[in-house]
Amino acid sequence: MTVYLPIAELSVNIFVILGMGAAVGFLSGMFGVGGGFLITPLLIFYNIPPVVAVATGANQVVASSISGAISHFRRGTIDIKLGSVLMGGGLVGATIGVWIFAWLRRLGQLDLTISLMYVLLLGIVGTLMLLESIRALRRAARNETVTLRRPGQHNWVHRLPWKVKFKKSRIYLSVIPVFALGFGIGILTSIMGVGGGFIMVPAMIYLLRIPTSVVVGTSLFQIIFVSAYTTIVQATANYSVDIVLAFLLMIAGVIGAQYGVRVGQKLRGEQLRALLALLVLAVGLRLAIALVVTPSNVYSVVSEGIGF
């Protein structure tokens, strides 16, 4: 059964899209990640134009993050003040990101930039995850207990000016690194269609030394607002949000995520993380190959439609 995607302007098999959404939803539920960094490359592999894949990915992230954010809000594990500073940076970053996006599109370098950024990001994240999970597996084999670095320790980040008290997090921290982190993630959201949780969570824990109890909820809080904002700006500036595609991905994704969470609770974390790391690396490698392999046609044509 095929369905026509009005913005991507192509007919796709509805079950392939639903399957993709469910699979990524399942993985995101299992590992507690947003899944944006997997869904966008998968859409590109399925010949969805990168422009549409990225903007639609941002829309999908809103749906996949909202239920997590709701439960964190109920449990009171969101630092609204900290989240708002992150969000402020995120909104500025997303605005600039969408502007860069439109500029690259005019230059004809958008597809390349998206692919390159994904290769870089998936390569780094995949490698770090793999190393970390291998270390964890070794530790588990030696029966050692995992000791997290104490969040009380200070580093250069804590010597920056404009310090503000974040009550919920019980931390006294400069707004500069928080805003900068939000800003960077905002740019990634708009150019790559990711929520950015997989970067933000470790950065908040290891760099900003924010207590882990509020990290996930606060990052979800900022992701929702920044990805919602990105969706609206992408729709307004680039006309590239495909609501049919987004809806199919959302439906399959949120259902897949619920099952993923249940399976994830039963399985061992280190092995799962190693598997996810391999998956991330495989997707990155596939994108890298596409950049290097001689294209079937070195020419391409675009009509300057109403979108310009």
- Which residues bind to other proteins, rule: CB under 8 A? 4, 6-7, 9, 59-60, 62-67, 70-71, 108-109, 112, 116, 228, 231-237, 239, 241, 243-244, 246-247, 250-251, 254-255, 257-258, 291-295, 297-307
- Looking at the Cβ atoms of 177 and 186, the one nearer to other proteins is 186
CA–CA distance, 249 with 149 (Å, rounded to integer) = 38
* Residue 172 backbone phi and psi in degrees, to 5: -115, 105
CB atoms within 10 A of CB 147: 7
Minimum distance of other proteins from residue 141's CB (angstroms): 34
Residue 3, SS3 per DSSP: strand
CA–CA distance, 289 with 295 (Å, rounded to integer) = 11
Minimum distance of other proteins from residue 250's CB (angstroms): 5
- Looking at the Cβ atoms of 43 and 181, the one nearer to other proteins is 43
- Looking at the Cβ atoms of 38 and 233, the one nearer to other proteins is 233
Query: Are residues 5 and 246 in contact, defined by beta-carbon separation less than 8 angstroms?
Result: no
- Looking at the Cβ atoms of 156 and 299, the one nearer to other proteins is 299
Three-state helix/strand/coil letters over 7-32: CCCEEEEHHHHHHHHHHHHHHHHHHC
DSSP 6: T
Minimum distance of other proteins from residue 175's CB (angstroms): 27
CA–CA distance, 280 with 233 (Å, rounded to integer) = 28
Minimum distance of other proteins from residue 176's CB (angstroms): 29
Minimum distance of other proteins from residue 232's CB (angstroms): 4
**H or E, element range at 104:** helix 80-107
- Looking at the Cβ atoms of 103 and 172, the one nearer to other proteins is 103
Minimum distance of other proteins from residue 272's CB (angstroms): 21
Burial class from Cβ neighbours inside 10 Å (0-12, 13-18, 19+) for residue 106 reads exposed
- Looking at the Cβ atoms of 50 and 177, the one nearer to other proteins is 50
